[in-house]
Amino acid sequence: MHLKLAVILVAVMLFAFPGESEARRLGRSSASSPAKSSTSHYRVNVGNNSSSQGSPGTATAAGVAVGAAAGLAVGTAKAAALSPEEARRRAAKQAEDERLAKLADDERRAAREREKAEQEKLAAEAAIEREKQERAQKAETLRLARLEAEQERARKQFEREKLCVIQPVMTDAEIAFCKEVWR
């Protein structure tokens, strides 16, 4: 796998950064220079630069890519030549790393579930508290309405009693009205 990566890296570097010889070839091709027998004065340059030389950075980039690929190839050769004990040790370490990663993932999942359960619990408690407050508010409103109705009834009764003053001489209508008021 490392070898494939190294080959791809080298190919990309060579493709992206053409070497100095490639830049010279593109700048001085036979198609870009006029023929000696031709009297035409037109010149066609092929390439990204108007200069005929490649930049010094392209050679450096290509050198770095080759060095990196060589390092990867050496590392790959060493990996292929591992002793069975080293291979077992690396496999055990990888298995342990996978186990630890799975444990960490399970712990994160459990923490998310606990957090979700806690939020649901808090939401349920808030809903219960809100419902309790609404019931208390309705009960208070009903109590105040009853108190107000009782006060209104008492006020009306007082007003009627005030109208019904017992006198030594009263008509039958006044007596009937007073009987009704005093009930």
pLDDT digits (tens, 9 = 90+) for 101-153: 999 999 999 999 999 999 999 999 999 999 999 999 999 999 999 999 999 99
**Nearest to residue 11, comparing CAs of 59, 65, 74?**
65
In-domain check, residue 69: yes
Classify residue 47 as left (phi > 0), alpha (psi -120 to 50) or beta: left
Could you give the number of structural domains in the chain? 1
In-domain check, residue 139: no
Residue 20: exposed, middle, or buried by beta-carbon count in 10 A (0-12, 13-18, 19+)? middle
In-domain check, residue 88: no
In-domain check, residue 22: yes
In-domain check, residue 8: yes
Range of the domain at 58: 1-33+41-81
pLDDT tens-digit map of 82-99: 799 999 999 999 999 999
Angle ∠(92,96,102) on CA atoms, nearest 5 = 145
